[in-house]
Structure 1
Amino acid sequence: MEIERKFLVDRLPEHLEQYDTQQLEQAYLCTDPVVRVRRQGDEYILTYKGKGHMVREEYNLPLNEQAYEHLLEKADGNVIRKRRTRIPWQSYMIELDIFEAPFEGLMLAEVEFETELEAVAFIPPEWFGRDVTFEKEYHNSTLSRKGFD
């Protein structure tokens, strides 16, 4: 089960260069339900996500590079490329995504939680912008279809 909140980012936090950053590439084989392939460094993953916004099922399966490339060719819509920076904050790990074209300028921060109660009680750092957890247009699966519907 994934319990996650998502926020727009108005401005980047200070000293961003001190944190680990990784390039991600992902594409969607289906958006209802969500079936995604992702390359993260030299790791390849097939993900299924159930319905929902803040709380939903999520299953990850490892892929090899050949399987990833094969499935990537079958993806619908945009291939999403972004730079992810993992920022420890209090007892949480913030995942800051800075998107590349065609979504250049979009910056989102995601935080995962152990419980729904913890997610609801979360007070974000001051550099977070609007909470878009329940706004479907900021889901990566929706972005993948942008311009194709």
Structure 2
Amino acid sequence: MEIERKFIPKCLPDNLDSYEHHDIQQAYLNTSPVIRIRKQDEDYFLTYKGSGMMSREEYNLPLNQKSYFHLLTKADGNIITKTRYLIPLFNSLTAELDIFHDIFDGRLLVEVEFNSIEDANSFIPPEWFGEDVTYDKKYHNSNMSKEIL
């Protein structure tokens, strides 16, 4: 189960390059339900996500490089590339700050994953997080993949 809240950051944290980060490329084979392929650094995954906004089923399966690039030719819509920074917060939480590249250059999104819906609902975000867009579908990467730019 994935439980997460999403925000549009007002600004970037200081010393961003000091945080662990990953280079991500992902594409969608289907958006309802979500079937996604992802290359994260040198690792490859196939992901299924059920319906929902803040809480939904999620299953990740490993792929190899050959399978990833084969499936990439089958993907629909926009391929999403981003750098994800892992920024420690309080209570062992981590902010996942995505800085998008290529066709989505300049977009920013920060997500926090939680162990329970209660934890997610009681979360008080840091000031730099900005607007809460958890329940706005246009901020799901699967919907970004369908945007006409």
**TM-score, normalised on structure 2?**
0.97
CA distance in 1 between partners of 2:99 and 2:132 (Å)? 16
User: Corresponding residue for 2:10?
Assistant: 10
Could you report, residue by residue, the CA deviation over 1:43-71 in whole angstroms, capped at 9, with x for unpaired residues? 10000000000000000000000000000
State how 1:90-129 maps to structure 2 within 5 Å.
90=90, 91-129=92-130
- Shift in Å at residue 89 of structure 1? 0.8
What amino acid is the match of 2:35?
V
Runs of 4+ in 1 over 4 A off after TM superposition: none
Q: Which 5+ residue runs of structure 2 have no aligned equivalent?
A: none
Asked whether 1:139 is paired with 2:145, we answer no
Asked whether 1:45 is paired with 2:48, we answer no
Alignment length, in residue pairs?
148
CA distance in 2 between partners of 1:13 and 1:126 (Å)? 11
User: Corresponding residue for 2:62?
Assistant: 62
RMSD over equivalenced CA pairs, Å: 0.9
Could you report, residue by residue, the CA deviation over 1:111-142 in whole angstroms, capped at 9, with x for unpaired residues? 00000000000011111110001000010000
Q: Which 5+ residue runs of structure 1 have no aligned equivalent?
A: none
Percent of paired sites with the same residue: 56
